[in-house]
Amino acid sequence: MDAGSARGGIDAIRRWTHRWVDDGPLPGASTLVAHHGEVALFEHAGVRDLDTGGPIEADTLFRIYSMTKPVTAVAALCLVQDGLLGLDDPVAETVPSFARLTVNRHGVGELVEGVAASTPMTVRHLLTHTSGLTYGEGNPGAISRRYVEERTDFGPDDGPLSEVVDRLADIPLLFEPGTAWNYGVSLDVLGRVIEVAAGAPLDVVIRERITQPLGMRDTGFRVPSAELGRLAALYEATPDGGLRLLEKGVEEPTTLSGGAGLVSTATDYFRFAEMLRGGGALDGVRVLDDTLVRQMTSDQLPADLAAMGSPTFNETTTAGVGFGLGVSVVVDPSRTAWRCGRGEFAWGGYASTAFWVDPEHDVTVVFMTQVIPSDRYPLREELRMLVADALLPEVAG
């Protein structure tokens, strides 16, 4: 592809970012696209708060929700690197209450009949969402209702991790660990495993191992009061295409959610993604050994997500997509719902944020906005198509 065509494709991404804001569905958005480590586009549109009109800027803070999970995964792998944790260690070694796990005979049904689990849950099961754990809020079945009743979705005020995981241990799993894939609180439980293995709170481990070395100054579980003006307001998309304000600030958490608790900026998260693209190092600072990064970003499942129990996830199908350690991984580009390279790894967040790295074509993308739920609009699908048109000519169809 010649330079002029690439510039035209990048301009199309710029226009797309503004169109989603100008036409009303999004209050504001930020799109960052890099090729070969060089930023090709960092575009901001709209406002971080519809009431005040404060614009989206490079240092705007966003709740990244499940984009916390890859960060927690890297924190765990740092402990693996240091010999403090093993991928196949039973979770019960650090969380003793998990030694008594049961499995519901009726899966996601309305009946609950727990029988003793025959397979110990491991750290690897947590990292790959094959643990048998689930989410409560918004999910069907009696087990998910138990999560809501017992406050085990790891919300910001559910209590210390030690207490939440012990409550969770009393709720039956949906399936035997390792036999299926189901999205849930696995990385939250991993947060507690990290605390015990490291002998330090999760926020301290993430700060010392990841955010501080990488210069991610604005990423953390708390927003200082002096910086609240930079935090984008959180909105819910209404059925009529409007927006309902949900939250302007953030709670001071009693629960450090390794699955959904971080606040970050596009520039901070880009540094995290670039560290992974660089095999665990950025700007001369090594966070993780490249062999562990390769393991993290390689498929760990015996079949793709469609076969393992989730034919669709958010707004896209999962055929041709596997799962690594905390991130999805494309295993067969010809079967995916988008144009991409083999080995693309990615994840997104509940407020419609997203990131992906395509190592085959050396592309990194970070998208930030603050609208829930994440499957309300085809943002990720459209952005993937535009990025492919701009920078992946060899897979364009």
Catalytic residue numbers, as ranges: 66
Please give the DSSP secondary-structure letter assigned to residue 56: P
d(CA 146, CA 184): 14
CA distance 44 to 17: 8
Backbone φ and ψ of 351, nearest 5°: -90, 25
Those residues with Cβ within 8 angstroms of residue 317's Cβ, 6 or more apart along the chain or in another chain = 306, 311, 336, 337
What is the spatial distance between Cα 291 and Cα 280, in angstroms, rounded to a whole number? 9
Identify whether the C-beta of residue 301 lies closer than 8 Å to the C-beta of residue 322. Answer: yes
In degrees to the nearest 10, what's the CA dihedral of 154, 158, 159, 160? 0
Q: 3-class DSSP state for residue 262?
A: coil
- CA dihedral (14, 16, 22, 26) positive or negative: negative
Q: Over the range 252-288, which residues count as b (16 or more CB within 10 Å of their CB) and which as e?
A: ebebbbbbbbbbbbbbbbbbbbbbbbbbbbbeeeebb
Determine the Cα–Cα distance for residues 300 and 122; give it in Å rounded to an integer: 14
Q: At what angle do helices 186-198 and 68-81 cross, to 10 degrees?
A: 40
* C-beta atoms surrounding 322 within 10 Å: 24
